[in-house]
Structure 1
């Protein structure tokens, strides 16, 4: 069984065969083996190709599943539940939305305008960019299945707990008034044919790849620099286990950035190769995907400062706690 899992992690998801093929190609072109330039070029070609392949496959799969959950149906499903069941279901529905944090906010506005409880909509908003089927497979390609599964579980817990806290301490009047005046029209839910679902999934792949392509390029470029040019000792002095504030620092660094998990993956891979703690890396990735500055600016248009601050504090504290948790349990997951 371990042989099968290793094959899936390293050859199917990790595509080690592709890395070997790129190395042989560069050698055939006369590039000096093991030089920093060669290793950087190899890292860049391998990671861009791997991420785009995984991205296309995952977005197609997730979009096909998502075609069964149009907004009208989602709102009806969520409206049937209350309390912890509603928070949990909302967080789970967030896992089948292939959105970055900015793309999740229009749905959040729609759900809020439809009259869903405040905490339920925020559980969705936290879960949607943070945890999805893609993160499970992509994290498996670097850190292994155990780590990916635990990450998804704690991400869902953060979404559920965060939504419940906001529902308890937040106030409906902290939602901007224009949202409450939106007239939500209930439309007849069309049944898509299999061909239409395939066409929808294909269009989502094209749209998403076009949207994130340059983020992937920049992320891989940064990863290549970290992997081959920045001394390990320097990185570990800042983000290593010897620095008790590494998780907090990684979270703070991630917030101003804007990317999804596909853009942060190569940076995480490079930091992991340098020996940075698992929790510190995940805190950085979660900070980027869930608390990016552009998404906070966009969310401010929908909620008032008090509610925005509550959301930011709850998610930030949750990410930091998760980071320290993974730094502690990381050795047991290897």
Structure 2
């Protein structure tokens, strides 16, 4: 049954329904910690200072907390970004010069629907619409890297300063990397069929025809769809974070990735590149490592490498990019992320 069937058609009814949902969300978020304290230490009688209790509490609390945060963030952002379609983005960037185009592309990448599974059609569509290769790559880098979920979760977990640093760093990497790649003349390493693709007819902007109820429907469906796709990675990330939080010795991480190791950021990026996760799945691990004393710059670099250079996305991009360009793409983006990590280890020290 469609969620839309349950959305009131009047303005007063919609406001009331959304208010009830928001109140329920806030109530669940507020009682989350008290619920698991009562269950583990009260009903089950576990020692609150025991490692097992800390591990279980971290896992249960963070699972509910991050699920609630994801649901709220995804719903709100999906409704907001329903006013900005990929077609409109493509039309805005078509014919733009490099430099200004890279800045616009990176900014639009944050608010436009995009995921690794749509990397190939997005790349083909942008190039076919006349968007320069470097500008297109700025968009492809920024969209998964500085995504709304990462921003929302970082804001709630680490505060405004760290979130602003992450956004500025991610946009800088996307803009500079796209500009550098465009200046290298990498078109010769793009598969020929990409340039032979032509868009037929006028660009249609379906976002302009949606009613508000349909936008609410999109938000609800996006919550279900994303949670369905990421829940295994979410649980694995939270599980690893819980184990690290409760059991792993603190000196193990400070020894290999602490502030005293000059290669910590580089090691973090090299570890992050082959991993497959998104911001929601990797943030619980980042929180646990932060609690163990790892520098924030190192952790931001690790998260950026995971979400911007995931192995599945590289495999998909291989369909449109030849191996030399793919290797240059990874090298340039990874270099930018490493530089950002070292910079923010200094700024956030």
TM-score normalised by structure 2 residue count = 0.86
* Equivalent runs, 1:9-158 vs 2, <5 Å: 18-29=32-43, 30-79=45-94, 81-97=96-112, 99-158=114-173
Question: Taking structure 1 as reference, are residues 194 and 103 closer, same or farther at Cα in structure 2, changes over 3 Å only?
Answer: same
1:194 paired residue number: 212
CA contact (8 A) 1:100 1:259 kept: no
Distance 1:162 1:195 in 2: 39
Distance 1:98 1:77 in 2: 15
Larger CA deviation: 68-77 vs 160-169:
68-77
| Residue among 191, 211, 214 paired with 1:176 | 191
CA contact (8 A) 1:280 1:323 kept: yes
Distance 1:163 1:28 in 2: 55
Larger CA deviation: 28-37 vs 222-231:
28-37
Indicate yes or no: 2:241 matched with 1:223: yes
- TM-superposed deviation, 1:36: 1.2
- TM-superposed deviation, 1:100: 4.0
Distance 1:60 1:107 in 2: 23
CA contact (8 A) 1:127 1:155 kept: yes
Distance 2:37 2:224 in 1: 29
2:15 paired residue number: none
Moved over 6 A (4+): none
| Residue among 308, 317, 325 paired with 1:290 | 308
Question: Taking structure 1 as reference, are residues 241 and 20 closer, same or farther at Cα in structure 2, changes over 3 Å only?
Answer: farther
- TM-superposed deviation, 1:189: 2.5
Question: Taking structure 1 as reference, are residues 231 and 74 closer, same or farther at Cα in structure 2, changes over 3 Å only?
Answer: same
CA contact (8 A) 1:108 1:124 kept: no
- TM-superposed deviation, 1:21: 3.6
Distance 2:211 2:74 in 1: 19
Distance 2:55 2:118 in 1: 32
CA contact (8 A) 2:96 2:131 kept: no
Distance 1:187 1:77 in 2: 11
1:211 paired residue number: 229
Larger CA deviation: 287-296 vs 24-33:
24-33
1:3 paired residue number: none
* Equivalent runs, 1:223-242 vs 2, <5 Å: 223-242=241-260
- TM-superposed deviation, 1:245: 0.6
Aligned length: 318
Question: Taking structure 1 as reference, are residues 268 and 100 closer, same or farther at Cα in structure 2, changes over 3 Å only?
Answer: farther
Larger Rg: 2
- TM-superposed deviation, 1:248: 0.5
- TM-superposed deviation, 1:99: 4.1
Q: Which sections of structure 1, spanning at least 5 residues, go unmatched?
A: 1-11
- Determine helix, strand or coil for the equivalent of 2:348: helix
TM-score normalised by structure 1 residue count = 0.90
CA contact (8 A) 1:101 1:290 kept: no
2:273 paired residue number: 255
Distance 1:170 1:217 in 2: 42
Distance 1:141 1:270 in 2: 15
CA contact (8 A) 2:238 2:281 kept: yes
Superposed CA RMSD in Å reads 1.7
Q: Which sections of structure 2, spanning at least 5 residues, go unmatched?
A: 1-25
Distance 1:58 1:77 in 2: 26
